[in-house]
Structure 1
Amino acid sequence: MINPAKSNEDLDLSYLREMSGDSAEFMIEMLDTLVEQIPIYLEDLQKAVDAKDWKAASEFAHKVKPTFYYVGREDIRDYVQVIERNAKEGIDVEKIPAALVEIKQELNIILTQVAKSKTELEAQL
């Protein structure tokens, strides 16, 4: 579900560019917010999964899902959507912890990609 090629590429910030009117300052603010929020959302999701609270897991997955789209990581967004759907429907819930581990590992790569993108945007100011 995670596209390994995306791990080695720069982030696709086209959605943020469009949303911000190509404002580097706004894009930096959005990236800062993502860096702050994604780990919190994933921790909430982890707690719900650990507690086998599938309703809450579905809700937390729903909350974090769009943040990956903003940085061009549709692969992760789609993977989180599978977690959301499975948790909501009670399907293959035993696979959710492993999927979450994969996503959290990929998050480290994404955060590195965000830092690089942010540095490039700051150079435009």
Structure 2
Amino acid sequence: MSSYDLKDVEEMAGGDQEFMLVVVQTFLEEIPPDVEAMNEAINNGNANLAYSFAHKMKPNLKLFGLQLMPEITVIEQWSKQGKNKEDAPKAARTITAKVTQVCKELKEDFNL
């Protein structure tokens, strides 16, 4: 079973396989560095930067059906409201693990 869902990507692409491939490649190029930067920001206690990266990734994580909105919300609440500070690193680890798995699967499934 796949860790991602391309239903929304397919809908957005209107069945255009080349466009879907571009969207997948863009995800693979942009999301892992953003996850890494978000983790670094959390580890350094830089709430504003962590929020920026978490918020930036949110639409792509949703688009690919990654069920990570609760974890993104934890990071956003810590960043903006000072809540869940102790939970932010755990949420980041969950996001990192899921994104790593999805990237591996996308590369295999799209022969990239």
TM (norm. structure 2) is: 0.87
Is 1:72 the equivalent of 2:52? no
Write out per-residue CA displacement over residues 30-84 of structure 1, whole angstroms, 9 at most, x where no aligned residue. 10010111111111111211110112211111011111112111x1134213311
Paired with 1:67 and 1:77, the residues of 2 have a C-alpha distance of: 11
TM (norm. structure 1) is: 0.79
Indicate the residue corresponding to 1:104 in structure 2.
96
Q: Report if aligned partners of 1:13, 1:71 keep a CA contact under 8 Å in 2.
A: yes
Is 1:18 the equivalent of 2:11? yes
Instruction: Please give the root-mean-square deviation of Cα atoms over the aligned residues, in Å.
Output: 1.9
Q: Report if aligned partners of 1:65, 1:81 keep a CA contact under 8 Å in 2.
A: no
Paired with 2:38 and 2:3, the residues of 1 have a C-alpha distance of: 27
**Segment drifting more, 87-96 vs 22-31:** 87-96
Which of 81, 91, 96 is the matching residue for 2:83? 91
1:10 CA displacement = 5.7
Which segments of 5 or more consecutive residues in structure 1 lack a partner in the other structure? 1-7
Letter in 1 for 2:87: K
| Bigger proportion of residues as helix | 1
Higher RCO (CA < 8 A, seq sep 6+): 1
Q: Which runs of 4+ in 1 moved over 3 A?
A: none
How many residue pairs get aligned? The number is 112
Letter in 1 for 2:61: F
Q: Report if aligned partners of 1:48, 1:54 keep a CA contact under 8 Å in 2.
A: yes
Q: Report if aligned partners of 2:77, 2:84 keep a CA contact under 8 Å in 1.
A: no
Indicate the residue corresponding to 2:29 in structure 1.
36
Alpha-carbon spacing, 1:116–1:10, altered in 2? closer, same or farther (3 Å): farther
Q: Report if aligned partners of 2:71, 2:92 keep a CA contact under 8 Å in 1.
A: no
Which of 41, 51, 70 is the matching residue for 1:58? 51
Which segments of 5 or more consecutive residues in structure 2 lack a partner in the other structure? none
Paired with 1:72 and 1:114, the residues of 2 have a C-alpha distance of: 13
Letter in 2 for 1:51: N
